[in-house]
Amino acid sequence: MRCYFEGHMDKSLTELTETMRSKTLPIRSLITLSLFFAASTAAFAGTVAPDLSKLPAGTPVQVIVTYAPSSGATGIVTTTQNAGVNTGTRISDLPNGGLYQTTAGSSVNNLAQLPNVAHVSLNHSLEATADRATPAPSTGSATVYDYLPQTLHPNSVNAAGSPDMTAGNNIGVAIIDSGIMASSLDLVGGQGSGRNHPTVVFAKSFVPGESVDDFFGHGTHIAGIIAGDGSNSNGNAFTHDVHGVAPAVDLINLKVLDRTGKSTDAQVIAAIDWAIQNRRQYNIQIINLSLGRGVYESYKLDPLCQEVEKAWLAGITVVVAAGNGGRFAPTHGYFTIAAPANDPLVITVGAMNTRSTPSRADDQMTTYSSKGPTFGDHVVKPDIVAPGNRIFSIRLLPAGTLEQTFAGDVVPLSSYVSRPSNGMVSQYFVLSGSSMAAAATSGAVAALLASGSSNNHLSNDQIKARLMKTASKFPQTAVHITDPATHQTFTVVDDIFTVGAGYLNLDAAIASNATIPNGKNAASPVAVLGGTISSGPNKGKLILHIVNDTTMTTVWGDTTVWGDTTVWGDTTVWGDSVWMGANTTVWGDTTVWGDTTVWGDTTVWGDTTVWGDTTVWGDTTVWGDGGPPWADTTVWGDTTVWGDSSTFGAELTGDPA
């Protein structure tokens, strides 16, 4: 296969850059509006997202204008005036619409009132969902190998110590991130895989003014987790062969994060759309999104979520990092799933801590991994969890922004080399976060698809269901973890909103023949507040029902599998873990789960009971009494979660090993 590289963006996106540069707004204030036109009657005018409506009038913004498929329109705004009404100026094209410059207030409202406009929403900044790591005092060593591949293969731990050079063979994985250092020996088949071509088969930059190269360091790390073959650590001189999950994949490098690790919805949407349009040429079966941002409106309206749904419905398995908001104190980390991980169709992945051992027996959930349900829509997330704490992967050389800021996170030679020689340079970097967990899952999906004829043609819904069903289930536990850097202690409860359907088990997924019928989807369900218990020892505790969102059937075209007890019965997917509080199991009967004929697969996520801590669940601002709380600042408006990169970005410490 030939390799293709495109170092510059289309002219339209270059024009966008110049417009952005002409403004004095800081990057976190740079706001792009999105107009998403649903397939509805053209005469209806659109609505404006709550957070957008709160912006001061006159604030410079950029907008994405999208038309309903039935409208046949190619543009409604070409100048600053539209039929005498001030609306804005088109800058560039985007899938099903275009990017426009305008101002908040009357101009946005004018746009929303134009024919064929369904919705106006903000296109916020996105960033990578990885955290830095620091030494773990309990290990007695500065940095200890993560054993990620061994952890994913609990039934073949010893074999997983060396890379399976056929894993993921010829499966295309689009990494939408900060770029990839394609020259790393770990990505050029240095161990003689026999494929005779580099792992990165195509590259394109969607970042104005930047080439396809990685200047940040995050995308290269992600690529190594998915596809690194361990060439830089193979042989008798090394104590560990640092490799990825599926070395035989073809990587498609779609760069959207700049040298600071930031992007915008418009850039990510454009990259996803490119992957959709070119999926057959490059056999793109997986998209990895180890990035995210806050949730400001329903996934049903959010243009970024709508784009990942578009990819899913085109047959691509979309794997998304859950986010790193698990330490958000006001909600105990709940309701912090990022966008687009909040979309029900995609596979949303939280981060586990391998404790730097090959055995899964001592593994535990991380303190920082974001928890569900999703804000506003209350979708049950994450779907699964995977290794994501203190993960070794390819180091960007020369050093990128991450290493320049956190030089101490370079893996010491002593951590993987038995006899370091003079002048030897470490080839690996250590990061923590749901970014790493998503990458591990993308690699696992590729390995599953290439594992044999019975798995070659699995649909993305069948893959999601298979991974959830075969995931290792959690016992009814709560653990207390102390951050050695801050000395803060966090309580982590292994409930459905923290661990989802369980811990990714690639061996079990490959060995299983479980599937779901065609015509069924694996969309994540929703949690519905069912009132409170009126008497007894649990009086005042909240009751949650887990149900399928039947309102989306006409959009997705299928019915959701989880409510069909004829598929797997009632004890298969969620396991035997329980919904629980930090110290108490509250309920275990069907009054919690609702109608079991609707929700038959209680063991997909766990035969779990509901946590009734009113300090979390009793806050009506997050459950939305009187309507969804999109404009409420309790979670997403708080800069300690999304505006402050020390929480969501690349500056948090990983959990101790």
Residues taking part in catalysis: 177, 218, 435
* Residue 261 CA neighbour count, 13 Å, CB half: 26
Instruction: At 617, give phi and psi (nearest 5°).
Output: -85, -20
Residue from 427, 418, 413 nearest 187 by CA: 427
Axis-axis angle for helices 460-470, 434-449 (nearest 10): 110
Sort 476 into a burial class: Cβ within 10 Å, 0-12 / 13-18 / 19+.
middle
Residues linked to residue 136 through DSSP beta bridges, in sequence order: 141
DSSP-derived letter for residue 474 is: P
CB atoms near residue 456 (< 10 Å): 11
CA 56 to chain centre: 31
At residue 503, φ and ψ (nearest 5 deg) are -95, 120
Cα(297)–Cα(628) distance, integer angstroms: 9
156 close to 507: Cβ distance less than 8 angstroms: yes
In this structure, are strands 284-289 and 317-321 parallel, antiparallel, or unpaired?
Answer: parallel
Structure tokens at 69: 């498929």
At residue 604, what are phi and psi to the nearest 5 degrees?
A: -65, -50
- Note whether 206 and 317 are within 8 A (CB): no
Find the helix packing angle between 265-277 and 303-313, rounded to 10°.
Answer: 10
211 with 203: CB under 8 angstroms? no
Angle at 264 between CA 258 and CA 265, to 5 degrees: 140
- How is residue 253 written in tokens? 């490098």
Output the six-digit token pair for 232. 């830089």
For residue 213, the one-letter residue type is: D
523's tokens: 């969309």
Burial class (CB in 10 A: 0-12, 13-18, 19+), 457: exposed
- Which residue in the block uniquely carries the two structure tokens 């404790």? 355
Other Cβ atoms less than 10 A from the Cβ of 74: the count is 9
Contact 603, 574 (CB under 8 A): yes
